[in-house]
A and B are shown apart, each in its own frame.
Chain A
C-alpha cells in the first residue's frame, strides 16, 4: 500500500499532474506499492476536464490503427475496466454497437472495417442486412443500407470510473491535491519542484497526465514532441422517455471526414447524440456553438427522427486532446525521471487502466523501485445506472434509512439519502455539477425547475439542512 505521509510533508516519490481518468488510474495503480504519491489537479474536482464529457463507450478497439500503442492499450484496457467495473460497482451495459451504412460507399466500407477489427484482434463483428437492421432498430431513420455489428462495444458510467480510481488511490494513501495549478517545474539532480497555486511540492518522479495541457507541461522540460490541438466535441442528451427508441450504440461509418455522429443509450437511461468534431485554438473553450447544435439536430433527425421529438436534458462539450500524431503520445524521459502521457484523444476512458500499467512499467525502467505490493483496499461506489436497483426502489434500504425513500431530484429519482451520503464521501463534490456527476441530481429533464433550490441548500449546508 502507498506510504502514508504526514499532512505537512510535501515531498513525494511520484507526483502525477492531472486527475482526469488517466491520471487517477495511474495514481490508483501506483498506490498498491510502497510509494508516496501525489495526485494534483487545477480543478476543484477529479475528472472535471475532458474526462467528464465523452460518449462513455467502452471501446473494443476494433477501429484503432492496428499495431499502434493505442490499439494495444485500448484492447487491454477494455478487459481491465470491465472487470474493475464489476468489482467496484461502476454501471455498464452490454448493448453492443451497430455501424450503420447510409450510402453505397459506406456499405462497401463495412467489410474493410471488419478486416481492420480482425487485425486489431477483435473477431466477433458480423454484417447485418437491412431487414435485420430495421428489426433490431425499428426507429432508425429511412435510408440505411446495412450495418456491421460490434457486440463488444458497451456503454459505461464515465464519471464513476474516475471517481472510483481516485477514491481507491486515496484510500490506499495517495494524497489528492485539488484546486492546485502547477505553474512551473524546476529540476535538480534528484527532485522535481512543482511551483503551484498552493505552494511548492517536490517529487522524485513525475507523470504528466495533464490532458489538453500535456504539451505545456512538456515545455517545462524543453520537450517539443507534440502540440495539443483541442478538438471540440458537442453532445446532446435526450430525456429518459426516449430510451426505448434505441437498443444499440449506433455508430457512423468512419470516413475521410472523421468519425462522425453517433446515437447511443447511456447507462443512466438517456440517449446521447454526438459528438461534433472541430479544431479550436482555445483549450478552455468548452462552450457549445449555435452551428454545432444545429448540425447535431440535423444529423439526429436523419439517424432517428423520433429522437428529436424528445426533450433535450443536457448539452455537453468535451475537448479531445488531439495532436499532429494519430497515436497516443506516451514517452519515458528516463534521465529526467519523467513520463509524458499526452494525446489520449478519444479512447482514454477505455484505455485508462492499461495506460496506468504501461506508465508503471516505464517508471520502473527509469529506476523507480516500486517496493512491496499490497492489495488495494476494497471500495464500493454507488451504482448510478438504470439497469440495476436504484435506492428509491430498494425496500430494505429505505426501511433501514427512510431518507433513501425521499426523492429530491424527481426526474432522475435521486434521494436525500444519496445526496447526504455523497456529501460525506471521501472525495465530496464541491459544486452542483460535481454532485450531479456523483448522484445525477439536477441532470434530468426539468433541469432544476423543481429541485434546484433544495439541492443547492443541501450543498451549501454540506447535507446538514433539509
Chain B
C-alpha cells in the first residue's frame, strides 16, 4: 500500500474544503491536499445550476457550477493538490486517513486534518414515510444531479416536502426540467425561507405553499401517483408523479464517527471549539458538516477564516 504525508489534508472539495485549502496555501503550508470522492471537485454547487451563489464571498451572484469552477481554479493556482475519485474510508491513525481510488489504496498522514464532508437531505426512508416504493422520489440533491448533470426525464407534476431555502431551489430545478410544482408542504405555520426568495419563486413559478400540512403516505405502484396528506381540515390526496424531499439535513458525519470524535446528540455534527477543532487535537470540522445548514458562501468564508483563527 502506498504511504504519503502532507501538511494539511482536507476531506471534501466543496466550498468549505476548497476555501480552507486556498487559505492554508496562502498562509504558507507547503503541502496541502484536498480529497473528493466524486469525479469532479466542487461539492454540491457543481450540480446546482441555478443562480444564487457567491454573494458574501465573491461579491457577485452566479450559478453553482460557475461558483465551483472559480474555487477550483483558485485552488489550483494556489498550488493545492486536488485528488478526485478518492474516498477517505477510515482513519489509519490519529492524524492519518486510509483512502481508496482508481490508483489503489493509500494511507496519508498529515499534521492537520480538516473534515469538510458536507451534509445531505434526509430521504423518504430516513423520514419513515409509509406507502409504496414507486419510481419518482427524489431529494433536492438527487433531483439536481438528474436534471443538471444527466438531463434525465423527471415527470410532470411534483410535490415538494419541506419549505426551506433548498425547497425553493427544488422549485427552480423542477421548472428547468419542465415539471410543474403543484404543492410545497410544510407542517409549520409558515415557510422557513427568506421572503424575497419565496416571493421571487412564487411569482415566477406559481405553486401552492401549503402550511400546516403533513405528508402521510406515498401512493402509486410503478410510478408515484400521489401523496396522502393531513391538513387542518382533514386528509386529502394530492395527485402528482414526482415527490421531492427537501431539507431535513443530516451532516455527513461518517468519518467523524468512525474516528470516535465527539458528536453532538442534537445536531449529529462533530463538536468543535471556537477554533473549529474537534475533540481530537489537529482534526477540524467545517462547512455544512457543522449544523445548522448554511449557504455555500458562508461555508467558504468559514473555510477561509479557519486559518486566520488558528495557524
> A interface vs B, CB < 8 Å?
236, 241, 284, 286-290, 292-293, 297, 309, 311-315, 392-393, 395, 398-399, 402-403, 405-407, 410, 413, 433, 445-450, 452-454, 456-457, 460, 466
Residue of A312, A395, A413, A460 with most partner-chain B CB within 10 A: A312
Q: In the bound complex, what is the Cα–Cα distance between A236 and B47 (angstroms)?
A: 31
Q: Across the two chains, which residue of chain B brings its CB closest to A407? A: B87
Assuming A398-B104, A448-B142, what are 15 further A-B pairs, CB within 8 angstroms?
Answer: A293-B128, A293-B130, A297-B128, A309-B265, A311-B126, A313-B125, A392-B87, A398-B102, A398-B103, A405-B85, A405-B104, A449-B142, A450-B145, A453-B149, A456-B146
Q: How many Å lie between the Cα of A241 and that of B122 in the bound state?
A: 16
By the criterion CB–CB under 8 Å, are B130 and A287 in contact? yes
Q: Are A449 and B149 interface neighbours, CB within 8 A?
A: no
Q: Does B57 reach chain A (CB closer than 8 Å)? A: no
CB of B73 within 8 Å of the partner chain: no
B1 within 8 A of A: yes
Cβ contacts under 8 Å, B123 to chain A: 446-449
* Closest residue of A by beta carbon distance from B254: A241
Cβ contacts B104-118/A at 8 Å (1 or 0 each): 110000000000000
Q: A399–B104 contact, CB under 8 A?
A: yes
CA gap between A236 and B128 in the complex, in Å: 9
Q: How far is the CA of A449 from the CA of B150 in the complex (A)?
A: 14
Chain B hits for A288, CB < 8 A: 130-131
Contact B105 A402 (CB under 8 A): no
A311–B105 touching, CB < 8 Å: no
- Flag whether B280 is at the interface (Cβ < 8 A): no
User: Of residues A398, A405, A449, A457, which shows the largest number of chain B Cβ atoms within 10 Å of its Cβ?
Assistant: A449
* B221 CB, nearest partner CB in chain A, Å: 7
Which of A292, A413, A456, A460 contacts B87 (CB under 8 A)? A413
Contact partner, B128, options A309, A312, A395, Cβ 8 Å = A312
Task: From known contacts A297-B128, A448-B123, A449-B123, infer whether A454 and B145 are also in contact, taking CB-CB under 8 Å.
Answer: yes
Which residue of the partner chain A has the closest CB to B141?
A449
Distance in angstroms from B47 CB to nearest chain A CB is: 8
CB distance from B298 to the nearest CB of A (A): 20
- Among A313, A406, A453, the residue within 8 A (CB) of B152 is A453
Partner of B139, one of A309, A447, A456: A447
CB distance from B153 to the nearest CB of A (A): 10
Contacts of B142 in A (CB 8 A): 448-450, 452-453
Known: A287-B132, A405-B103. A447 touches B149 (CB 8 A): no
Give the bracket for the number of chain B residues in contact with chain A. 35 or more
Instruction: Show 5 residue pairs from A and B whose CB-CB distance is below 8 angstroms, ordered by the A residue.
Output: A413-B89, A446-B120, A449-B139, A450-B141, A456-B146
Instruction: Report Cα–Cα, A21/B128, bound state, in Å.
Output: 28
One digit per residue, 1 when the CB lies within 8 angstroms of any chain A CB and 0 when it does not, for chain B 128-146 equals 1011110000110110011
Nearest Cβ in chain B — how far from A373, in angstroms? 42
B209 within 8 A of A: no
Looking at the complex, which one of B125, B145, B254 makes contact with A453 (CB distance below 8 Å)?
B145
In the complex, chain B residues whose CB is within 8 Å of the CB of A286: 132-133
Residues in B whose Cβ lies below 8 Å from that of A393: 100, 105
Report whether B104 and A395 are in contact in the complex, using a CB–CB cutoff of 8 Å.
Answer: yes
User: B103 to nearest A CB, angstroms?
Assistant: 7
Interface: B101 (CB within 8 A):
yes
Q: Report A-chain residues with C-beta under 8 Å of the C-beta of B130.
A: 287-290, 292-293, 315
Chain B residues, Cβ within 8 Å of A292: 130
Nearest-Cβ distance from residue B116 to partner chain A, whole angstroms: 15
Pairwise interchain contact A313-B126, C-beta atoms closer than 8 A: yes
Q: Which one of A287, A314, A457 lies within 8 Å of B150 (CB-CB)? A: A457
Q: Which residues from chain A contact B152 at a C-beta distance below 8 Å?
A: 453, 456-457, 460
Partner of A311, one of B122, B132, B221: B122
Q: What residues of B have a CB within 8 angstroms of the CB of A293 in the complex?
A: 128, 130
Q: How far apart are the CA atoms of A80 and B24 in the complex, in Å?
A: 60
Whether, in the assembled complex, B293 has its beta carbon less than 8 Å from a beta carbon of chain A, the answer is no
Give a binary string over B85-100; 1 marks a CB under 8 Å from any A CB, 0 the rest: 1010100000000001
Q: Are A405 and B100 in contact (CB under 8 A)?
A: yes
Are B1 and A447 within 8 A (Cβ)? no
Chain A residues with CB under 8 Å of B126's CB are 311-313, 445, 447
The answer to whether B257 has its CB under 8 Å from any CB of chain A is yes
Q: Return chain A residues, CB-CB under 8 Å to B1.
A: 395
Closest 7 CB pairs of A and B: A447-B123, A402-B102, A453-B145, A452-B142, A287-B132, A449-B141, A405-B102
**Cβ contact of B124, chosen from A407, A413, A447, cutoff 8 A:** A447
| CB nearest to B265 among chain A residues | A309
Residue B37 is within 8 A (CB to CB) of chain A in the complex: yes
Interfacial chain A residues near B122, Cβ < 8 Å: 311
- Asked if B121 is an interface residue, CB under 8 A from chain A, the answer is yes
Alpha-carbon distance between A448 and B245 when the two chains are bound, in angstroms: 12
From the candidates B87, B132, B217, name the one contacting A290 in the complex (CB within 8 A): B217
Q: Within 8 Å of chain A (Cβ to Cβ): is B216?
A: yes
Contact of B250 with A by CB under 8 A: yes
Could you tell me the distance between the alpha carbons of A405 and B106 in the complex, rounded to whole angstroms?
Answer: 11
Residues of chain B lying within 8 A (CB to CB) of residue A445: 126
A287 to chain B, nearest CB (A): 4
- With A292-B130, A413-B87 known as contacts, the answer to whether A452 contacts B100 (CB < 8 A) is no
Q: How far is the CA of A447 from the CA of B38 in the complex (A)?
A: 16
